[in-house]
């Protein structure tokens, strides 16, 4: 299958040197891309500004990577590549808000008065992809929420965005090396996943993606055996 994966945060500019962002490391999305390549899938990774770097090559071959900074740049990349893929795994942490205006150059510091920023919602990129997908395409989304409302809010997001499944994980997942998540599909009870490393979870997630793909393309061949690393 041809799988499109997004990873990392966005940076929404305030001026030429400042921006709004979040704590996403991008580690999980990179691991998912490597896992997909290792199982023989044609993989494209849209990668944000991260400190963790993907390997130049994987057991399945070289990884195709396109870089983005802002949600606008990610939107352009999704518009360019989504139609050419069978599935989308939206692991990127897109900022919910961005400044309504971006100052040219650098804002001058004025200690005598506070600085007020006016923010606007960023586009719901997952929902946009769901709205224009062709028959047979599938989408896996992500929800990062407080544990006490995790399952309810993830289920609501899944239905509002029109995705086929969603990975729900608590706030502690950000910057961590392991993950405890819940897998949700429409009209099915949430499925908890045992605590595991992000690399192990990435392989587990690709197996779930293969199941989604197989359900929509019964005649498609199964994944190739995972290559030795």
CATH number of the domain at 2-100+118-216, out of 3.40.710.10, 3.30.470.10, 3.20.20.70, 3.40.50.10300? 3.40.50.10300
Residues in the chain: 229
Active site residue 22: yes
CA distance 59 to 132: 33
- Indicate whether this model's pTM tops 0.95: no
The secondary structure of 36-81 as a DSSP string is HHHTT-EEEEEE-S-SS---SEETTEEPEEEE--SHHHHHHHHHHH
Q: What is the DSSP letter of 50?
A: -
Contact 81, 38 (CB under 8 A): no
User: Is pLDDT at 166 greater than 60 in this prediction?
Assistant: yes
pLDDT number for residue 219: 77
User: Is pLDDT at 53 greater than 90 in this prediction?
Assistant: no
Beta strands in 114-219 (DSSP E): 119-121, 138-145, 165-170, 178-179, 182-184, 191-192, 196-197
Mean pLDDT of all residues in 81-92: 98
Mean pLDDT of all residues in 85-92: 98
198-216 and 27-38 helices, crossing angle to 10°: 60
User: Is pLDDT at 125 greater than 70 in this prediction?
Assistant: yes
Question: Which is the catalytic residue, given 21, 22, 103, 180?
Answer: 22
User: Is pLDDT at 188 greater than 80 in this prediction?
Assistant: yes
């Amino acid at each position: 299958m041809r799988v499109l994966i997004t990873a990392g945060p966005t940076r929404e500019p305030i001026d030429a040197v400042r921006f709004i962002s979040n704590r996403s490391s991008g580690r999980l999305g990179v691991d998912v891309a490597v896992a997909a390549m290792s199982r023989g899938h044609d993989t494209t990774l849209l990668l944000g500004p991260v400190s963790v770097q993907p390997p130049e090559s994987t057991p399945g071959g070289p990884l195709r990577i396109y870089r983005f900074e802002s949600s606008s740049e990610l939107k352009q990349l999704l518009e360019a590549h989504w139609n050419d893929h069978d599935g989308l795994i939206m692991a990127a942490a897109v900022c919910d808000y961005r400044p309504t205006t971006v100052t040219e150059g650098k804002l001058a510091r004025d200690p005598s008065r506070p600085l007020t920023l006016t923010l606007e919602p960023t586009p719901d990129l997952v929902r946009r992809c769901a709205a224009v997908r062709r028959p047979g395409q599938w989408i896996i989304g992500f929800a990062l929420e407080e544990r006490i409302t995790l399952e309810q809010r993830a289920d609501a997001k899944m239905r509002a965005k029109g995705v086929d499944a969603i990975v729900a994980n608590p706030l502690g997942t950000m910057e961590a090396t392991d993950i405890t998540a819940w897998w949700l599909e429409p009209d099915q009870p949430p499925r908890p996943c045992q605590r595991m490393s992000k690399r192990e979870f990435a392989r587990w997630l690709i197996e779930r993606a293969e199941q989604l793909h197989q359900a929509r393309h019964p005649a498609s061949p199964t994944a190739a055996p995972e290559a030795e690393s």
